[in-house]
């Protein structure tokens, strides 16, 4: 595709030709020290989502902090594979890397992403999770995360080659392949660590579900967010103890429903569907 033929208004939604959804995201292993007993804790984003207002069905699930990266320069991807399409108006408006491509273009898109995500301050793809962390801490804790409150370390990349249906609300059910950039953030501000522990202990999963329902009844979005902090060594041991194939799916830990991506941020836990690079 020549530069003069680049589309400046990229289309939305799948077609018969562009049927494979690609999601590229950061996942952050957020660690902190418990303020009362000095145990290492893993912090997750806990989200209650109302799926059906008629039945008042609410799902409460916890997942790593992080989210979709942004495509700063869509033209570079268009030069490589020609046309692609965002999966929804929401992704289009944010330039999130949630797109539909031709299945035959997957390997080229994968190499493109691996090359750019490995570069600090890359001008084409967002390669730092700080924006997403800041937004999610504001959503869960109602506070502004500051750079001096945490340290950030870059980890490996993970690829999920075999398509599986997405649960993303704006494109639910579409076959999706995934690329994850893993980071580790350590909370070094004791006051922030205490606030995260307190938030986790203040709300039960049932509380969050009721907040999501109450919000929906008042014309809100039908969701509620909080932090969930779990003892890191115990969680790691729980994953190590279950069969490999079971790590491909969500698990229950201390009565909490954990998204399958939690296993992705545990460096030495083998997960069959993830290819670690």
Residue 3: its pLDDT value, please?
45
* Helix%, strand%, coil% for the chain, nearest 5: 35, 35, 30
CA-wise closest residue to 113 among 67, 49, 69: 69
* Distance, CA of 159 to CA of 273 (rounded, Å): 8
DSSP string covering 182-233: EEEEEE--HHHHHHHHHHHHH--HHHHHHHHHHHHHTTS-SEEEEEEEEEHH
Question: Tokens in use for 129?
Answer: 């999770």
pLDDT tens track of the chain, all 277 residues? 444 445 556 899 999 999 999 999 999 999 999 978 889 999 999 999 887 777 788 899 999 999 999 999 999 999 999 999 999 999 999 999 999 999 999 999 999 999 999 898 899 999 899 999 999 999 999 999 999 999 999 999 999 999 999 988 888 899 999 999 999 999 999 999 999 999 999 999 999 999 989 888 876 678 899 999 999 999 999 999 999 999 999 999 999 999 999 999 998 899 999 999 9
Q: How many helices (H) and strands (E) are present in the chain, helices listed first? A: 7, 11
Question: Tokens in use for 142?
Answer: 């109602």
Question: Tokens in use for 217?
Answer: 């009844």
Residue 246, CB-side half-sphere exposure with 13 Å CA sphere: 9
- Residue 28: phi, psi to the nearest 5? -120, 120
CB 178 within 8 A of CB 160: yes
pTM: 0.92
Residue 142: its pLDDT value, please?
94
Question: Tokens in use for 12?
Answer: 């939305």
Residue 17: its pLDDT value, please?
96
Angle between helices 74-81 and 106-117 (to 10 degrees): 140
Sequence-distant (6+) residues with CB within 8 A of 197 are 32, 34, 35, 36, 41, 229
DSSP 18: S
Question: Tokens in use for 201?
Answer: 């202990």
Q: How far is CA 153 from CA 27, 128, 270, in A?
A: 12, 10, 21
């Amino acid at each position: 595709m020549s530069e003069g033929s680049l589309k400046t208004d990229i289309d939305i939604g799948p077609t018969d030709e562009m049927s494979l959804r690609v999601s590229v995201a950061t996942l952050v292993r957020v660690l902190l020290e418990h303020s009362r007993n000095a145990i290492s804790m893993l912090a997750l984003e806990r989200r209650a989502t109302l799926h059906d207002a008629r039945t008042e069905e609410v799902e409460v699930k916890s997942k790593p902090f992080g989210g979709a990266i942004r495509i700063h320069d869509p033209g570079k991807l268009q030069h490589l594979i020609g046309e692609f399409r965002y999966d929804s108006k929401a992704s289009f408006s944010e330039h999130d890397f949630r797109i539909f491509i031709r299945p035959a273009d997957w390997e080229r898109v994968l190499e493109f992403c691996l090359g750019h995500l490995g570069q600090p301050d890359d001008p084409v793809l967002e390669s730092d999770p700080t924006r997403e962390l800041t937004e999610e801490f504001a959503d869960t804790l109602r506070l502004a995360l500051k750079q001096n409150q945490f340290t950030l370390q870059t980890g490996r990349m993970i690829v999920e080659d075999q398509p599986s249906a997405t649960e993303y609300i704006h494109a639910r059910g579409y076959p999706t392949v995934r690329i994850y950039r893993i980071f580790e953030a350590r909370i070094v501000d004791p006051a922030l660590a205490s606030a995260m522990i307190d938030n986790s202990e203040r709300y039960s999963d049932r509380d969050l579900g009721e907040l999501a329902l109450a919000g929906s009844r008042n014309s809100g979005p039908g969701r509620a967010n909080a932090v969930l902090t779990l003892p890191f060594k115990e969680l790691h041991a729980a994953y190590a103890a279950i069969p490999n194939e079971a790590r491909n799916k969500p698990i229950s830990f201390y009565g909490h429903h954990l998204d399958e991506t939690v296993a992705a941020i545990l460096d030495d836990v083998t997960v069959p569907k993830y290819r670690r690079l």
